[in-house]
Amino acid sequence: MGKTNVEQEEGGTTLLSLPKHVAIIMDGNGRWGEKRGLSRSEGHFAGVQAMEKIIDACFDMNIKILTLYAFSSENWNRPKDEVNYLMYLPIKFFKQKLPIFMEKNIKILATGNIEGLPKATKRAVVKAVEETKGNNGLIVNFALNYGGRMEILQACQKVIKEIQDKKIEVDQVDESLFQRFLYTTGLPDPDIIIRTGGEQRISNFLLWQSARSELHFIECYFPDFDKKSLAKVIYDYDLKHTHYA
């Protein structure tokens, strides 16, 4: 884990041992908008603005990997206009931010069934992944059209196919091998999973990968989750995992 000075809500700074991988369920955007007399889409736009700030905060804090639950496989059940807007947001986001990601050496990854996205959304995501694949700084991993159960089922199917094709033996199948068939292959499991919006559940997010993750449930809606909020979660995590001299 890296070291950094992180500003705390009390106004001071503390030298922290940082988690390597932080994952966030960005919940409450639509409700944030409704609470303010706005549309749910305006709430989602505010969520994107908050997401940009969290990416910048992770960059500043020297966190290595940030995974963001941007769109679940269950979100297709939402109203059509809302889904269409959610599919437009990655197009706009990557068009605006890709030059900045290149400048900051940020690497973009996509976790989920990307083939199931609308063509324009898929093109924007694939372009961001391809153009940043040579970067070796902060990894920002977007979970798009993602479902944890489906990920595990698909991994099982791939393992069975490998066995049927006699590429591997049954007794070779262990956790390390199985992880190679997950969307997140090559990434360490998250140290922390944060959920905003007041709900205390993980909503089919990183079911395999979260086995040993520390869960933090935050009352505020995601548009109100900022760098200080993130720093407090990391500070609380650090107190549990670090013995100060």
Is residue 208 annotated as involved in ligand binding? no
Please check if 36 is assigned to a binding site.
Answer: no
The response to whether 201 counts as a known ligand-binding position is yes
Sign, CA dihedral 214-219-220-226, equals negative
Please indicate if the annotation marks 241 as binding a ligand.
no
Residue 151 labeled ligand binder: no
Closest by Cα among 31, 53, 52 to 42: 31
Q: Apex CA 174: angle with CA 150 and CA 165, to 5°?
A: 75
> Rounded to whole angstroms, how far apart are CA atoms 193 and 214?
6
Question: Is 123 assigned to a binding site?
Answer: no
Place of tokens 């505010």: 46
29 marked as part of a ligand binding site? yes
Catalytic pick from 27, 145, 191, 238? 27
Please give the Cα distance from 121 to 111 (Å, whole number).
14
The response to whether 76 counts as a known ligand-binding position is yes
Told to judge if 27 belongs to the known catalytic residues of this protein, a careful annotator would answer: yes
For residues 224 and 181, the answer to whether their CB atoms sit within 8 Å is no
Contact 225, 48 (CB under 8 A): no
Tell me which of 56, 60, 62, 75 is the catalytic residue: 75
Q: Which residues fall in the annotated binding site for substrate?
A: 28-32, 40, 44, 72-74, 76, 78, 195, 201-203
Q: Give the residue ranges of the annotated binding site for Mg(2+).
A: 27, 214
**Which positions are catalytic?**
27, 75
Where is the binding site, in residues?
Answer: 27-32, 40, 44, 72-74, 76, 78, 195, 201-203, 214
